[in-house]
Amino acid sequence: MGARELCSGVEWVGAVDWDRRLFDALVPTPEGTTYNAWLVRGRDRTALVDTVDPAFADGLLDRLRALGVRRLDYVVCNHAEQDHSGALPCVLAAYPGAQVLATPRCKAMLCDLLEIEPDRIDPVEDGASVALGGKTLHFVHFPWVHWPETMLTWDEEDRVLFSCDLFGGHMARGDLFSVDGAQALEAAGRYYGEIMMCFAPAIAKGLPRIEALAPARIAPSHGPVHTDPARVLAAYREWTGERTTNLAVLVYVSMHDSTRLLVSRLAESLAVRGVQVELFNAATMDSGRLAGALVEAQTVVFASPTVLGGAHPAVAHAAFLANALRPRARFCAILGSYGWGGHMAEQLAGLMPNLKLESLGTVVVKGRPREDALSAVDGMAATIARRHGET
């Protein structure tokens, strides 16, 4: 696949990974992904903003050669993680005159992760810039999005923000500049839930600085270019804020139907009371969809049978994942069943120390739930609906 012109003097030279279905051995990517790299050519100098996953290094170099790039002055490394930087050793070998520009912390990480020679890397301070001749690149330090060394790169004349992982989305497409805005936002929302949500305070702190730039385009490292930046900026303001929606997320596993009966009753009882509900069977769910739902959820309910005295491993994993993602949810509840005993409910609660959630109740039954247990579930639904209405 050839290069694509974003605007005069700015070309996409990255890679499309159509077949990738799991990122970091953790994050589902059902639509594949891209590794976006950008060639920025001024009158006097040329810069490559980011590289690609090492498996796609040859394609990146082929695109640069096809564009007649005989000299690179700079390789801007916004982020040291290998899906961004992995091809850097190959690029530096092909262009021995190129200097890497990165944050001081990123310089140290590139030396550690990729064994880049330190003298090939020039650290840039926050707010520093390089002039290419008719194009000026400014560097915006933005730590903890999502690693501590991350920065963004601003193309002043073209008003393009190369935003690294921020505003990204895992989506493989042949033309990243014409993806429908709603599709791009959906991909960004899922990506935010999976990767960015736990860094919401850092993102919220830095958003005004990005908004002040008034970018015409936002070009992230993964997925489509945002040609209507106001849309994704508004979404990020909402996602990183304090407001949640009238949504309860129910994550469950049922082995012999008892827990399923409790979950079904709660879902129906919540719906009758006007609470939106999303159900996720932890045994088969797409964890990326769960992460996206947690962005908006006000209440999270975990429901599990007791297995060897504790929670079902799939539900325990979901609780552990929610704890790592740190959603804005305010309430939680636990449902479950057991045959002879155990500490399932206590175990699940203990897996979420990062989440300061108000408990709205626990309903755990021995064997198949009877009417008294189902009535207790109705009471839980009433409490959830009431608390949603109060906030």
Give the pLDDT confidence of 52-66 residue by residue, as tens digits.
999 999 999 999 999
Cβ-Cβ contacts under 8 Å for 170 (sequence gap 6 or more): 23, 27, 29, 31, 32, 33, 187, 190, 191, 222, 223
The model's pTM is: 0.94
Fill in the amino acid letter for 178: S
Taking only the tens place, the pLDDT of each residue in 202-233 is: 999 999 999 999 999 999 999 999 999 999 99
Confidence grade of residue 85 (pLDDT, cut at 50, 70, 90) = very high
The residue out of 239, 261, 296 marking a domain boundary is 239
Range of the domain at 29: 4-239
Which residues does 353 contact at the CB level (< 8 Å), separation at least 6? 323
Last residue of a domain, one of 204, 239, 274: 239
Q: Which of 239, 259, 288 is the last residue of a domain?
A: 239
Q: Let me know whether 81 and 103 are in one domain.
A: yes
Rounded Cα–Cα distance for residues 197 and 146 (Å):
10
Residue 269 corresponds to which amino acid?
Answer: S
pLDDT at res. 2: 86
Cα angle vertex 291, ends 289, 349, to 5°? 125
* Residue 107 belongs to domain with CATH number: 3.60.15.10
Determine contact, residues 299/273, Cβ cutoff 8 Å. no
pLDDT recorded at residue 67: 97
The torsion angles phi and psi of 31, rounded to 5 degrees, stand at -105, 15
Does residue 79 contact residue 36 with C-beta atoms inside 8 Å? no
Section 299-316 average pLDDT:
97
Structural domain total, the chain: 2
pLDDT at 65: 97
On the question of pLDDT at 391 being above 80, the answer is: no
* Residues 231, 100 share a domain: yes
pLDDT at 160: 98
Instruction: Report how far residue 153's alpha carbon sits from residue 61's, in angstroms, rounded to the nearest whole number.
Output: 22
Position 324 scores a pLDDT of 96
Give percent of the chain above pLDDT 90.
96
> 12-64, pLDDT tens digit by residue?
999 999 999 999 999 999 999 999 999 999 999 999 999 999 999 999 999 99
pLDDT of 243 higher than 90: no
Q: Is there a contact between 249 and 193 (Cβ–Cβ < 8 Å)? A: no
